[in-house]
Structure 1
């Protein structure tokens, strides 16, 4: 059983010292419309940084007595935490980086609720309104730096990866750091931590004093992928769609490492954007990379993509296996093209306004048995739209694997039923079986029990 600290009081620094009574009450509100439950889940995940599990439900069950409340005191905001994990403290004092992450949770939950969702300032029924809302969330989190050349590399990949692949992600990060490139990831462990850890050394050798380690997450993911300790700039977006769009608006290039269903979801989201005709001329470097031991993952992924979406989709992805320096050079050169394009089109270096994100990709997909069954998984539609529909399948699998709400649905109603074009279903089944064989679906499982059933006709 994990050691706990019965009660602790902390005071956030900065502007959050002066939250209003209304904002404090929202964070304490335990009703269905209140923020306390999501605040509790996000905070528990932050304080469990370094956990070896990826099951959001299991984390909550392991700490049933964990509670967090906020109070307005004479000298500002006070946070009262009951039954907190002891590993978040040193000699009774909360680790400073975790305090920063906890502060980010408060900042983003309050801002998104009051200034974005409940405000009349943003038309969330239009593509521009949603993109504008993401801009304001990112700006409020101080993620955008004016007068800085493009240099943010987004890194995607699995949180559950073999040691050899983790070491490779550190190699990539090291070479990015030597080129004074900043790192943005989903902020969790594995392939999200490795590039940051490697870049610390590369930045240090270059005496690069402005290094940035940006982590983007959302409430449903954070409990399964707690922010790693290297993240210095954490932002929590309201849902997975806004998080995915933020990656593409803020980043200037993407490196993808092997992962599981979540990485496949990200790849399909990326392709649904890049395959849209309005984005044909917008430079956006993307490279898939791994050590030789990880090539089988990308072989399976590319085979599925080619048969489901066609060769044009495959051409959007550059594959470099076991070549870390070439990967860093490829991304650095691609970012120079991004800079030239942004300058020629008068687009901001810090936010990719020109990129077109289809409205259907901006709409939150809530995985339920009914919504999964209703997905259009056939080729009689634009390729970018099919990519988006396929992305939703993998979003549902991620939810069923690690998110508390998804796990609860599977426990109640059984696996999600996935139906569609027979050939696509057969190849999807083969792809997922390869993930299971490579033990990429879920941490700590000797025998993976699928949260889905694919209708292959066999």
Structure 2
């Protein structure tokens, strides 16, 4: 029985590897085909309550981006994800509000402000979809999940597994992280100074719009 289990495990492991390679090839093909719409992923905490300062800032940010013809992509959950999706819905009837939902004990269903919902069983596939359909990433206040999304994006750009795109950090909480990245990994030559080229840190919504509006306009100008 033990020999049979080892054989089955080996067979299944090989098939999983083959399937992963097929998915990676399909992912690259879909990315190469591209999209007709500029999309911005907004990462942030699920724990922030409605009507708080952080919630309303993210709502306002997504609303302004939608008015500038950007689709908004989030994890589809509560907190700042919900704020971004609600802002997108209220900003423009033309822009779409995306939710890439993953089932969690404390997030059993997506928020109510979505035009398009994709369901994922694993964080890894959701992260890859964020990368596949987004042209820019905005990181708002958040915890471990938000930091994971930030570093995943940053690392894939570093190794050229995805195209370069702006990573915009919003708020004072990210200043310490960047200072540590410079004083420790960069100072010890574990990363390069060029790895910071796509990272921007801002303090308010208007600064984000100033950074992204020219990129959005340039994207649509190429479609004409």
The one-character-per-residue Cα deviations of 1:313-364 (angstroms, maximum 9, x if unpaired) are 3333111112x133123223234566789x8xxxxxxxxxxxxxxxxxxxxx
State the Cα distance separating 1:223 from its structure 2 match: 3.3
State the Cα distance separating 1:227 from its structure 2 match: 1.0
Whether the 8 Å contact between 1:284 and 1:334 is mirrored in structure 2 is: no
Instruction: After TM superposition, list the pairs within 5 Å mapping 1:50-449 onto structure 2.
Output: 123-126=18-21, 129-132=22-25, 149-161=36-48, 163-203=52-92, 208=93, 210-219=94-103, 222-225=104-107, 226-276=109-159, 278=160, 282-290=163-171, 295=172, 297-310=173-186, 311-322=193-204, 324-335=205-216
1:196–1:284 CA distance, 2 compared to 1 (3 A): same
**TM-score, reference length from structure 2:** 0.75
**SS of match in other structure, 2:40:** strand
**SS of match in other structure, 2:112:** coil
Q: Structure 1: 5+ residue runs without aligned partners?
A: 1-116, 344-458
Whether the 8 Å contact between 1:174 and 1:202 is mirrored in structure 2 is: yes
Higher Rg of the two aligned structures: 1
Q: Distance in 2 between matches of 1:223 and 1:190?
A: 15
Aligned length: 200
1:202–1:132 CA distance, 2 compared to 1 (3 A): same
Q: Distance in 1 between matches of 2:206 and 2:82?
A: 19
Q: Distance in 2 between matches of 1:216 and 1:314?
A: 27
1:198–1:218 CA distance, 2 compared to 1 (3 A): closer
The one-character-per-residue Cα deviations of 1:189-238 (angstroms, maximum 9, x if unpaired) are 111111222222321xxxx3x3311111334xx43334111122111224
1:283–1:338 CA distance, 2 compared to 1 (3 A): farther
Whether the 8 Å contact between 1:155 and 1:195 is mirrored in structure 2 is: yes
Whether the 8 Å contact between 1:134 and 1:242 is mirrored in structure 2 is: no
Whether the 8 Å contact between 2:169 and 2:199 is mirrored in structure 1 is: yes
The higher relative CO (CA closer than 8 Å, separation ≥ 6) is in: 2
Q: Distance in 1 between matches of 2:59 and 2:117?
A: 20
The one-character-per-residue Cα deviations of 1:58-80 (angstroms, maximum 9, x if unpaired) are xxxxxxxxxxxxxxxxxxxxxxx
The one-character-per-residue Cα deviations of 1:107-147 (angstroms, maximum 9, x if unpaired) are xxxxxxxxxx9xx8x93242xx22245589xx9xxxx9x99
Q: Distance in 1 between matches of 2:27 and 2:119?
A: 11
1:241–1:215 CA distance, 2 compared to 1 (3 A): same
The one-character-per-residue Cα deviations of 1:40-95 (angstroms, maximum 9, x if unpaired) are xxxxxxxxxxxxxxxxxxxxxxxxxxxxxxxxxxxxxxxxxxxxxxxxxxxxxxxx
1:182–1:327 CA distance, 2 compared to 1 (3 A): same
Q: Distance in 2 between matches of 1:245 and 1:339?
A: 24
Whether the 8 Å contact between 2:164 and 2:198 is mirrored in structure 1 is: no
Q: Distance in 2 between matches of 1:233 and 1:135?
A: 22
**TM-score, reference length from structure 1:** 0.39
Whether the 8 Å contact between 1:305 and 1:313 is mirrored in structure 2 is: no
